[in-house]
Amino acid sequence: MEHVDPTIFRLAIFVLAIFVGYYVVWSVTPALHTPLMAVTNAISSVIVVGGLIAAAASGADGWIAKGAGVAAVTLASVNIFGGFMVTRRMLAMYRKKERPK
């Protein structure tokens, strides 16, 4: 029996994770959307902290860590901002509308 190349194995896991994530996200009811967005914003804040730590790295190959850290902070910040915008919009759907007099 031959061994599977680790790169192919990891790629297969990544593709499966994409499919599972897609079906999990699209099967969530709208009532659960706001709490889930709060959790993803919390996860993104942890990514920002890790990105800041990576951006502060030094050494011979520190530029790779700094670039990855800056990219992580940028993408996670965009994710957090977008999450708050979507959450705000979802909560506006549940507000009582004022009746014109």
pLDDT digits (tens, 9 = 90+) for 54-66: 888 767 677 888 8
Which amino acid belongs to residue 75? Answer: L
pLDDT at 12: 92
Determine how many CB atoms are found less than 10 A away from the CB of residue 21: 10
- 2 band by pLDDT with thresholds 50, 70 and 90: confident
- What pTM value is reported for the model? 0.59
Is the pLDDT score of 98 beyond 90? no
Which amino acid belongs to residue 89? Answer: R
Determine how many CB atoms are found less than 10 A away from the CB of residue 64: 12
Q: pLDDT by residue (tens digit) across 3-46?
A: 888 888 899 999 999 999 888 877 877 777 667 777 777 788 88
